[in-house]
Structure 1
Amino acid sequence: MTAPSTISVERPAPGIRKIIFSNPPVNLVVGETVSRLLEVVTELSEDPQVHVAVFTSSTPGYFFNHFDLDRVADFMPSDQEATPAWTDLVIRLSTAPFISIASIRGRTRGGGDELALACDLRYASREHAVFGQPEVGGGILPGGGGTERLPRLIGRDRALEVILSSNDYDADTAERYGWVTRTVADAELDGVVDGVATRLASFDKTALATAKAQVNRATLPPDADLRAAYTQFLSSLTFPGVQAFLPRFAKLLAEKGPEEVELRLGDYLGMARQESR
């Protein structure tokens, strides 16, 4: 029997689509997530009726989380000459002829944060959104645009702090840094996102898409840089540091359980790193 998809799509209004991620308990991104998202973004890009796509989650406490490194083979491109699916996804999303909105409630880290960064607008729950790029703490590198997009939003020094420290950042800090469009009270998040989506869906699609393309020319990283980042991510999986780190981190997961570790991922990365020396 085929496993249910981690991605579902709803149509709350004619010009709006809602893309919902669900991979409990901690919403790790797996290969099926990437392939299905790529299909959805491609389909929506070809639909002239779609003005706005809202990305959200149905798993309490989590938006899109980081890649599941226990299934890293899922993210290896079968054709070494082709653009990797994850890179293709974030490029297509950034340049799609619709407006993408991330409605962030819960933890969004690593690949999940890179998906949010590829969205046009990011609204975050003040009480519950948490952000991070934890790769370096695990001995690997970001590979889906974190090192290319984040500095353009928050500046070089803050991006270095985020990426090198592998710490978690709360929503208020993310807003102050410019990581998100706006932080709102959790009780207001759905209403704010729905209001923005409805307003934009009422506008002329050609005007929306053309204005987005104009802003993109001034702000997006070159596609070649995103492809190079994914290649470096794959190479980093063989770094000596990750080989020493992974067994200790696996032991922590077994001892504490994934839900406890994910709640304080930045802290546990530090613990595992210290004990792997």
Structure 2
Amino acid sequence: MPQFEITHESPSFWRVAFDNPPVNVFGGAAIIELRALLDAAENDPELTVIVFESANPDYFIAHWDLTDDLARLADEPPPVTGQQPFVDMLIRLSKLSVLTISKLRGRARGAGSEFLLATDIRFASRERTLIGQFEMGAGSVPPGGGAPARLPRLVGRGRALEILVGAQDFDGDLAERYGYVNRAVPDADLDAFVTAFATRVSAFDRSSVAELKSWVDAITLPDNGEFPQQAAAFAAHLGGPRYQSWAAHAFEAGLQQPGDLEERLGARSVEF
């Protein structure tokens, strides 16, 4: 089943909803679909803005699918940037010529947080957001999808280290205060707020939006050379005994299933 549903609000405004029950983990199938979406977006002369959201109000993207070995990508074309497939997709997303907006409602940890960081603008539900990089709590695994490169540029060095090393969840208010998200909006107002903002942007000239983004990108986005070492370190730690022990206990306790562990993963990841 497709994991992304695309709604064309207008020729210049797409809405993309992620839906991978039960908790919206992200893996190889999602990468394949997003590659196709990025190809279409890059070649659409009218498209100006994309809003990414979730069909599950409790989980935007829970985290990487820790059971996925990416074998399904073996028959796919090689990554455009030459990077690891997930990192490749995030680089392409961050450099897309159209404006990308994440509408965050629910949980976004690990790869979910890194997806958000690769989009241009993040608007979050004040009451229903939990966002973080829990990897260090999962057997002292450093994040490998670009967070160590993107977060310091967004929130500053000290706060980036707090987020990455502390491995705790941030609610909507604190995420806004730190600059992790652009703005936290009351949940009842979030849908209308994001739609109004995206609709406004969609009326602007596409080429002007692309030109403006290119100027900002040139001084704010990490160089592609920053990512390979991070991805390699992440993969190496996943093969280590500390993470393997953590994963075995976490799956026994309900990892990647609805329930208290996924709901409070930022707090509970250090238990195993």
What amino acid maps onto 1:117 in structure 2? Answer: L
- Structure 2 counterpart of 1:89: 89
Structure 1 residue 83 displacement after superposition? 2.1
Identity percentage over the alignment? 37
- Tell me how far apart the structure 2 counterparts of residues 25 and 70 of structure 1 sit (CA, whole Å): 14
**Count of paired positions:** 268
- Structure 2 counterpart of 1:99: 99
Structure 1 residue 27 displacement after superposition? 0.7
User: In the superposition, relative to structure 1, how do residues 257 and 83 fare at CA in structure 2: closer, same or farther (>3 Å)?
Assistant: closer
- Say what the alpha-carbon RMSD is for the aligned residues: 2.0
- Give the 3-state SS of the residue equivalent to 2:15 in structure 1: strand
What amino acid maps onto 1:5 in structure 2? Answer: P
- Structure 2 counterpart of 1:275: none
Task: String of CA shifts for 1:186-224, please: whole Å, max 9, x gaps.
Answer: 111111111111111111111111111101111111111
Task: Determine if contact 1:77/1:84 at 8 Å carries over to the other structure.
Answer: no
- Structure 2 counterpart of 1:118: 118
Using the size of structure 2 for normalisation, the TM-score is: 0.93
- Tell me how far apart the structure 2 counterparts of residues 25 and 231 of structure 1 sit (CA, whole Å): 29
What amino acid maps onto 1:96 in structure 2? Answer: L
What amino acid maps onto 1:37 in structure 2? Answer: L
Task: String of CA shifts for 1:36-92, please: whole Å, max 9, x gaps.
Answer: 112101211111110001100001211122001122345987879942221111111
- Give the 3-state SS of the residue equivalent to 2:59 in structure 1: coil
1:30 and 2:31 matched: no
- Structure 1 counterpart of 2:236: 235
- Tell me how far apart the structure 1 counterparts of residues 242 and 93 of structure 2 sit (CA, whole Å): 32
- Structure 1 counterpart of 2:136: 136
After TM superposition, the runs of 4+ consecutive aligned structure 1 residues lying more than 6 A away are 75-81
Structure 1's unaligned 5+ residue stretches are: 273-277
- Give the 3-state SS of the residue equivalent to 1:203 in structure 2: coil
User: In the superposition, relative to structure 1, how do residues 159 and 201 fare at CA in structure 2: closer, same or farther (>3 Å)?
Assistant: same
- Tell me how far apart the structure 1 counterparts of residues 128 and 69 of structure 2 sit (CA, whole Å): 28
- Give the 3-state SS of the residue equivalent to 1:189 in structure 2: helix
Higher share in helix? 1
- Give the 3-state SS of the residue equivalent to 2:260 in structure 1: helix
What amino acid maps onto 1:105 in structure 2? Answer: R
Task: Determine if contact 1:100/1:120 at 8 Å carries over to the other structure.
Answer: yes
Q: What is the 5 A alignment of 1:74-223?
A: 74=71, 82-139=82-139, 140-223=141-224
- Tell me how far apart the structure 2 counterparts of residues 83 and 46 of structure 1 sit (CA, whole Å): 22
- Tell me how far apart the structure 2 counterparts of residues 63 and 245 of structure 1 sit (CA, whole Å): 24
- Structure 2 counterpart of 1:268: 268
67-76 or 41-50: which moved more? 67-76
User: In the superposition, relative to structure 1, how do residues 77 and 177 fare at CA in structure 2: closer, same or farther (>3 Å)?
Assistant: farther
- Give the 3-state SS of the residue equivalent to 2:101 in structure 1: strand
Using the size of structure 1 for normalisation, the TM-score is: 0.91
What amino acid maps onto 2:38 in structure 1? Answer: V
- Structure 2 counterpart of 1:245: 246
- Tell me how far apart the structure 2 counterparts of residues 271 and 76 of structure 1 sit (CA, whole Å): 33
Task: Determine if contact 1:25/1:259 at 8 Å carries over to the other structure.
Answer: no
